[in-house]
Amino acid sequence: MAKANPLFIDSTKMTGDSIGTQFELSGVGLYEDEEIFVLITNALGEVTQMPLKMNADCNYQTKAWLRHQKSFYYQYVIEKNGQRFLQSVAKQARAQYAILDKWEPVLAEPGALPAREAQPAISAPANIPDHVKSVASLMEKFGF
Amino acid sequence: MAVVSVINQKGGVAKTTTSLNVASNWAAMGKRVLLIDLDPQSSATKAVFGDQEFEKTIFDVVMNQCLIEDTIVHSDRFDFDVVPAEILLSGIDLQLAAHFGRETILRRKLEPILRRYDAILFDCSPSLGLMTVNALMASQDIIIPICPEYFSLKGIELILQTLQNIRTGLGYKVGVRGVVITRFRDRRIAKKVIEDVQEVYGLKVYSNYIPDNIAVEEAHHDHSPVHKYAPKCAAAKAYTSLAKELW
């Protein structure tokens, strides 16, 4: 992921503010039965698939709402009859106003988007009272 | 109404000379023109007014010390208005580092006077700093003066990268009007560079090349536009034709 030059960071936005990011892809040629999407994976591993539409400059574009300057992964895929047909390399970027790319399909075996980052296991705090540790004990305590 | 930045991150390519002479020719065409000097070296200000000192400059406008209207000075010789610069501009990045909306200050300050002019030209500094970003964020498009030599191509790459960074990071699209060839000498390398600008970068190159001519430099010393200082010289005629081509 390229380093961010502070000159080109919107000073009116806080990191994590919602921002409409325009994905713009040039150099794509689609047949009638093909569709192009961008797959966006956020830091929690949630994947969103957005269709791209042709604009006046004959580039394909879509807009996604992301978290300003937060890191995410994205990958362009072309589907034919609902099946993944071609794809680009998955890239990492920081959310900003526009992501401009040139279509470069990879012919290798489809590379999956980066796996969801491991989250620390959630455990109950040690000082929690006994009666809130299970539903049964809560029902017993409050008489449901 | 046109708001245009004259910019090249490479120095010594006749940015100021081009700004002054295009602005002056536009004024001679009957257009109302404002030139805003954004270079801490104040070359445009000094070329127009000599060593005259100004109490209020673009620095004060950006620092919110006065309105832009209060800084405008008219030049009878050039027949356009100028917002002068001063050396304090060189430290402005530090002063504004934590300023909310620091990249759009000029755009907001310019708003009240936009309708007074047919054209507003920014004479930008060669360094990439906050004032250059402000000029680009306030401009509809840019004019790139280049001397036709190898390093000019690298300068164009830098500018195009800067425009892309403005688009991606700040969400504003600045157009490229075209490339002005300055200090032109009829040599093979010059023609090769011009071809590369058109073919590799896909940019429009204006057909009126400005020839390398001593009268341009002499006009600066005389604090006059070249079309008034030496109206018959090739550079003066080229700037007059270029101004029409650019309009």
Region B178-195: mean pLDDT is 92
Chain A residues touching residue B130 (CB < 8 angstroms): 7
Asked whether the whole model's pTM tops 0.90, one would answer: no
Contact B28, B227 (CB under 8 A): yes
Q: How far is B239 from chain A (nearest CA, A)?
A: 33
Q: How far is B166 from chain A (nearest CA, A)?
A: 6
pLDDT score recorded for residue A81: 86
Residue of chain A whose Cα is closest to the Cα of B171: A97
What does the pLDDT look like over A40-81, one tens digit per residue? Answer: 999 889 999 999 999 988 899 999 999 999 999 999 999 988
Close Cβ partners of A18 (under 8 Å, ≥ 6 residues apart)? A65, A66, A67, A68
Contact A68, A15 (CB under 8 A): yes
Residue B238 corresponds to which amino acid? A
CA distances from A127 to A137, A138, A139, A141 (A): 16, 16, 20, 18
Q: Name which of B170, B173, B174 to mutate to probe chain A: the one with the most chain A Cβ atoms within 10 A of its Cβ.
A: B170
pLDDT at B191 > cutoff 60: yes
Phi, psi torsion values for A72, nearest 5 degrees: -150, 165
Chain B residues touching residue A2 (CB < 8 angstroms): none
Whether B168 sits inside 8 A of A8 (CB atoms) is yes
Residue of chain A whose Cα is closest to the Cα of B168: A98
Triad B200, B201, B205: Cα angle to 5°: 105
Which CATH fold would you assign to the domain B2-246? Rossmann fold (3.40.50)
Chain A contacts to B (CB-CB under 8 A): 4-5, 7-12, 96-100
Q: How far is B96 from chain A (nearest CA, A)?
A: 11
Q: How far is A14 from chain B (nearest CA, A)?
A: 10
Question: Residue B151's pLDDT band (boundaries 50, 70, 90)?
Answer: confident
Strand partners, A54: A60
Question: Residue A85's pLDDT band (boundaries 50, 70, 90)?
Answer: confident
Whether B169 sits inside 8 A of A5 (CB atoms) is yes
Mind listing the domains of chain A with CATH numbers?
Answer: 16-111 (2.60.40.10)
Give chain B's mean pLDDT. 95
Separation CA B238–CA B227 (nearest Å) = 9
Q: Is residue B76 classed as helix, strand or coil in its secondary structure?
A: coil
Whether B169 sits inside 8 A of A12 (CB atoms) is no
Listed in sequence order, the DSSP H helices in chain B are 15-28, 43-49, 58-62, 92-96, 105-110, 130-138, 150-165, 188-199, 214-221, 226-229, 234-246
In A42-110, beta strands by DSSP E? 47-51, 53-54, 60-67, 71-80, 83-87, 91-94, 98-102
Question: Residue A128's pLDDT band (boundaries 50, 70, 90)?
Answer: low
Is the backbone of residue A81 left (phi > 0), alpha (psi -120 to 50) or beta? left
Triad B68, B63, B3: Cα angle to 5°: 45
Question: Residue B161's pLDDT band (boundaries 50, 70, 90)?
Answer: very high
What does the pLDDT look like over B82-99, one tens digit per residue? Answer: 999 999 999 999 999 999
Whether B165 sits inside 8 A of A5 (CB atoms) is yes
Which of A4, A5, A97 minimises the CB distance to B171?
A97
